[in-house]
Structures are given as C-alpha cells and as structure tokens.
Amino acid sequence: MRSELFGTLPGGSPYGSSDGTPVTAVTPVHRWTLERGGVRVRVLTYGGIVQSAEVPDRAGVTADVVLGFPSLEGYLAHPGPFLGALVGRYANRIAGGRFLLDGRTYHLAQNNGPNALHGGGRGFDKRVWDAEPVEHGVRLHRVSPHGEEGFPGRLEVSATYTLDEDGALRIAYEAVTDAPTVVNLTNHTYWNLGGADCGDAAGGHEVRIAASRYTPADADLVPTGEFAEVAGTAYDFREPREPGLGHDRNYVLDKGVTATPVEVAGLYDPASGRTLSVATTEPGLQLYTSDHFDDALPFAPGAGIALETQHFPDSPNRPHFPTTELRPGEVFRSETVYGFGTRV
C-alpha cells in the first residue's frame, strides 16, 4: 500500500477542506494504492473516489474495470456522473429538497430539478478527505459541519477501504452526530468488467439482483411510496440477464437490513469471464446503466453499470421506508463488499 500526490485544488476552493470550510492554500489530493490477492485498487482523497480496480480475466490478463479519469482535472471538469465517488450526506434523492425531522422542516440544496440529489451541489464527492493507513487499506474521514448543504448536525464520518485476502474490496462506513440528522452513504463506481475502455457494458453484461420488489418512481425518479413486484416487468433480475439501457431504479432487497454483508447482486461479462459480486448490509440497491452520459465524457451511454447499495431514496419523507435517522449517541454503520472472480 502506498500514497502519492495525484493533483492539487487551487487556493480558495470550497472543496479544499475536510470540514467544509474554504482554504487559502493549495490543497493536495493523494491517491492510495491497495494491492492484495491479485487485485490493485486506487482510491483518491478527493471525493473518496475509487479511481481504478485492476483484476484478471479468465486467461489471467489484467484490466481496469472501473470508469475513471487519469487526472484530477477530469473529475473536476465532469462532476455530474459521480464517477467512483463516495456519496453523502444523503445518497439518491430527497423530494423537494426538504424533510421533516422532530417537527422541524429542513431545506436542502436543490441540485436535481426541485430535488436534492447525492448530498447537494457540494456533497461528500466534492470534498478532500483526511486519510490514514490501516491494515490492507486506507481510512478516509471528515467532519461535515452543521448546516452543510442544509443538513442538520455536525457529522463525523469515516469510510475505510480495504482489500480482503482474496482481493475483494470492502468499504465500511461509520458516522456519529451531535444532533438528530439523516444519513445515507454509498459508492458510485461504474463497472465495466470487459475493461473500462471496451465499450458497452449494459449491452454485454449479465446482471443479477436478489430483489422481488422495487420502489416505483415519478418522472423525477422520486419514489411514489409504493412497493411493486418485479415479476413480469423489465425490473426482474432475479435470474441473470442483460439489462440494456433505461435503468435507474431502486430495488428492495429481499434480505432487508442486516448486521453483516449479505450477497445481493452480481455482474458477469461473458467475453472476459470476469465476475463481480456485491454483498451489503443495506436494504436497497440502485441499478443505473449510465444512460445520461453525454458527448463531453470519454464514455458512451451504457459504458458502465452502477450498483449503488443504499437505503431507499426519499426515506426521510416516507416513514414506512427503513429509517435513515441518526441521533446523538448512536453510530451509523454500513458495509459493502465487492468480490472479483472469473468463470470459464
């Protein structure tokens, strides 16, 4: 494991401090390289981004299976896709950019039409995190101050990236608060098991999701509050199949919230033989087939598939959804494991 300078943010950048305050000096961004079990993963202190994951195919040929940029400038120029990023304080959407907690309405940054998306305009994905080495990995941490992007409470949060003995990437999140708040964290990596530059993942991969239900959504992709069966619909991935384009939906995982990660999803690329398994403690998973990539990106629509483990979108406004509330004295914990393998 090693760390190296990846780039710098200019002085005065609002993204240049782990506690959210502007800084006057140039802020360094470091890249941490983790290697174990034949896998090499690179993580940035900017946005907690998984920049790359190099894994072998069925013939032992290694390729990067994560969509990313070779320089910091790429991430600064193209923040919209959230490539590889650690997303928070609240992943996915909150309707109307507001929610009610303990009788008080909190107004958030509206950065997705009328809604709040992925923590707002300057969410966790656009902050430089402090970093320290841990066994087989790196721990990123920061303080999100009270009022950041409209969220209440001073939130101390960490994300620890480690590689297991077999090369699986494990991301463990923890957070504590000094006032009631809501928290929902995820990783927004786009996977292409054929190789990041090989083209259309959505048209060539097989997707599997252990979910019998999903949350229907309106035109703004905000849940209606219902739970619908996937049987007989385009959302049924209980058996592996190619997704094609057109997917940006939250799935209600059959296993619910669990104390330890349970395998819930997988990808398979028949051409390379590479497989990806996803295990999580979370109750939901957002499948997104990168439909909205535009011409400014070096990746076409469908070039990567995101499998975002999460609590449900708009949970703060839906009391019957699994709660995302965090209160003083409690510890938020979430863990997701990405396992790599091959099939003949």
CATH of the domain at 176: 2.70.98.10
- Residues making up the binding site for beta-D-galactose: 92-93, 188-190, 248
Catalytic residue among 118, 148, 188, 247, which? 188
Q: Nearest CA to 306 among 270, 343, 327, 278?
A: 278
- Residues making up the binding site: 92-93, 188-190, 248
Given a contact cutoff of 8 angstroms between Cβ atoms, the answer to whether 280 and 286 are in contact is no
- At position 224, the amino acid (one-letter code) is T
Residue 10 confidence (pLDDT) = 80
Q: Nearest CA to 137 among 176, 168, 94, 179?
A: 168
**What does each of the 344 residues of the chain score in pLDDT, given as a tens digit?**
899 999 999 865 655 555 555 555 689 999 999 999 999 999 999 999 999 999 999 999 999 999 999 999 999 999 999 999 999 999 999 999 999 999 999 999 999 999 999 999 999 999 999 999 999 999 999 999 999 999 999 999 999 999 999 999 999 999 999 999 999 999 999 999 999 988 889 999 999 999 999 999 999 999 999 999 999 999 999 999 999 999 999 999 999 999 999 999 999 999 999 999 999 999 999 999 999 999 999 999 999 999 999 999 999 999 999 999 999 999 999 999 999 999 98
3-state secondary structure of 125: helix
- At position 154, the amino acid (one-letter code) is R
Compute φ and ψ for 154, nearest 5 degrees: -85, 115
Domain that holds residue 230: 2-342
Q: Nearest CA to 92 among 188, 233, 226?
A: 188
- Residue 205's Cα: distance from chain center in Å? 20
311 is catalytic: no
- At position 274, the amino acid (one-letter code) is R
C-alpha span between 92 and 213 (Å, rounded): 18
Residue 197 confidence (pLDDT) = 87
C-alpha span between 284 and 46 (Å, rounded): 26
- Contacts of 38 by beta carbon, 8 Å cutoff, 6+ apart: 55, 56, 167
**Which region holds residue 111: left if phi is over 0, alpha if psi is between -120 and 50, else beta?**
alpha
146 is catalytic: no
Catalytic residue among 148, 149, 282, 308, which? 308
Query: Residue 111, Cβ neighbours under 10 Å: how many?
Result: 17
Q: Based on the structure, what is the number of domains in the chain?
A: 1
